[in-house]
Structure 1
């Protein structure tokens, strides 16, 4: 037993030290790069920025993916054996290479972002050199570096669990802990690999495709409000609260709010999947960074405003008093309507229909017509909501 303990400790010591060093080295998030604003970029400046983005796409981000794959192999994470047999010597080498690639990636995106860029209202013709794109990539790579740092922590936990299960092979608890730690580490590696792949894609695709990915990711953010609304309506059915006229009105408002949230999700879903046969369109490639950033932030604004409305309804139902009065709820609805209406104006002004394989005159394939029908449904929902609100 003493020999087993000594052997596993000797094997694991260098890799654990390397992981501690990596966690310390990447302890801080990437600093914000200060870029110089001016009206135009020279062709040489644009070429330089594009070369840096291509280096991320063709070299650095694929290297991170390959190194993560090699790390999984060297640690025997993909083997089904209950007792993995990691190669710590190879793992140390891979971690060293990954560390170097991480620093090269940070330097590359910071160099691309710090290069002089035009004002974000004047960069509509700059393609991938827009401030919107560089800012998105800086934030995404910062997330990737943070995720890799977390992965080093999961790696440490796995190796320490492996040590204990090797030293005490007859104790099932340690084998179970190692299996769990291996699963957690593998899940984290897969997350980092997907993120690196997404960032690589974002260096090349259109601004609209970047927006689509962002909007698609926000769809699940509405779920918590929907869950709260279900609980609110169920509270009356289950008689959790004594039934009162105000609570009955709150439940009715909750039902209309549920419809509005589902309409919001429908809008985001269809815009995020515009290359389907249903609503094939894209957005003008010459939108400036200010407009693109506004569109990117809109889903967060929608989620926040719906969340505030749901909290007001839930609190009013729980306390049997209209929190803030009708004016507060009406103000929340007005803010939601403004958010959606202003978003629709931008979408309608910049949408470009894509070639259709079938009759473009049909309703389901005409984005502008669909948008108009969606808007009618939204106004109907708002009208019914306000009708209930004004009835008490």
Structure 2
């Protein structure tokens, strides 16, 4: 900026304060609307109109304003700040934000069909529309810092416009570019998300679980490491038992990760399949929530084992361990049943549809057998230790 002739025309404090005050209302949320078994044609038309408006007008308008905002702040090469334009753009962005929120809430809330009877509504299903609420969260998380930073940027320069080359100024520029890049990337992903099928939304959730299971697997591996084993109070019977259970938990997590990978990456797998598009929202929601439920149970299982290894006390933890493993197994059973009933095998260049279906069923059958074997090994070992009636006591106090 030293080489540029900059004529900064600052907006009034009241303008900046008004813009900043608007940001404080971004956390406002509307409660869900009433539920109906069947939507009227008018109610369905309203939802479709809101979705069309989001895709064709509102979200593109937000996306198209990020670039001009950056230019108006003088953040592009050979551009000078024009704060009057910045304020106009911020006001337009704010208005576009609220129109977007209202349209999303109208589509996602409004009048909601019964989740067990909305299979025919396609993109107006409760499951599909409820995913739109994530758009509000993402917009708020990425747009709010950009708008806030732009306002603070103008306020700070207004106090001392002679210090435009200070380090703090360059830091603010860097922050603005960072938030602008994040907002642009988020808008591109948001636009793509509107075209994602219900199955792709579910696949994304299972794919997220892979990374979480990798972290849990690492924690479990450390729990079975030789250095930690040697530190455990002279390798008591409980210590040996905990290590054994931890080792038997490893194949459970590995199999869970394999299952998640198969479900979430069907497009690159030899076993190609898609999901029946006529599922209701209740069934879709179950498939979508199962990965998180499985991950939570595994986390609690590892936490119990880790606590037992540190304090050399398991007490009621055996019953808890059994419950977590059984809960995980029941969730997988439910998931597997839904997939077998509703996944549709796809033919490839190498196989026809019938062969693809047989391969698909064979893979899940083999996985199912391996899973039950791993669960039985864990539960049998847990039961064997209980029968030995070696309930440990806490170490005596010094």
State the TM-score, normalizing by the size of structure 1: 0.83
Deviations along 1:14-49, one digit per CA (max 9) or x if unpaired, are 7853552332232x2322231x33332234433332
Corresponding residue number in structure 2 for 1:291: 283
How far apart are 1:239 and its partner, in Å? 4.1
- Distance in 1, Cα, partners of 2:76 & 2:377: 55
Instruction: Mark the CA change 1:86 to 1:241 in structure 2 (over 3 Å): closer, same or farther.
Output: farther
Alignment of 1:1-392 (within 5 A): 10=10, 16-17=16-17, 19-26=19-26, 28-34=27-33, 36-77=34-75, 86-156=81-151, 167-168=162-163, 175=167, 177-234=168-225, 236-237=227-228, 239-244=230-235, 245-360=237-352, 366-392=359-385
Corresponding residue number in structure 1 for 2:390: none
SS in 1 for 2:120: coil
Instruction: Mark the CA change 1:237 to 1:50 in structure 2 (over 3 Å): closer, same or farther.
Output: same
Q: Are 2:10 and 2:83, in contact at CA under 8 Å, matched by a contact in 1? A: no
- Distance in 2, Cα, partners of 1:205 & 1:215: 15
- Distance in 2, Cα, partners of 1:213 & 1:13: 45
Higher RCO, 1 vs 2 (CA within 8 Å, ≥6 residues apart): 1
How far apart are 1:130 and its partner, in Å? 0.8
Q: Are 2:345 and 2:357, in contact at CA under 8 Å, matched by a contact in 1? A: no
Q: Are 1:37 and 1:116, in contact at CA under 8 Å, matched by a contact in 2? A: yes
Structure 2 segments unaligned to the other structure (5+ residues): 1-6, 386-398
- Count how many residue pairs are aligned between Structure 1 and Structure 2: 377
SS in 2 for 1:366: helix
State the TM-score, normalizing by the size of structure 2: 0.82
SS in 2 for 1:126: helix
SS in 2 for 1:32: coil
- Distance in 1, Cα, partners of 2:180 & 2:358: 40
- Distance in 1, Cα, partners of 2:154 & 2:232: 52
Instruction: Mark the CA change 1:330 to 1:25 in structure 2 (over 3 Å): closer, same or farther.
Output: closer
- Distance in 2, Cα, partners of 1:90 & 1:209: 40
Q: CA RMSD in A?
A: 3.3
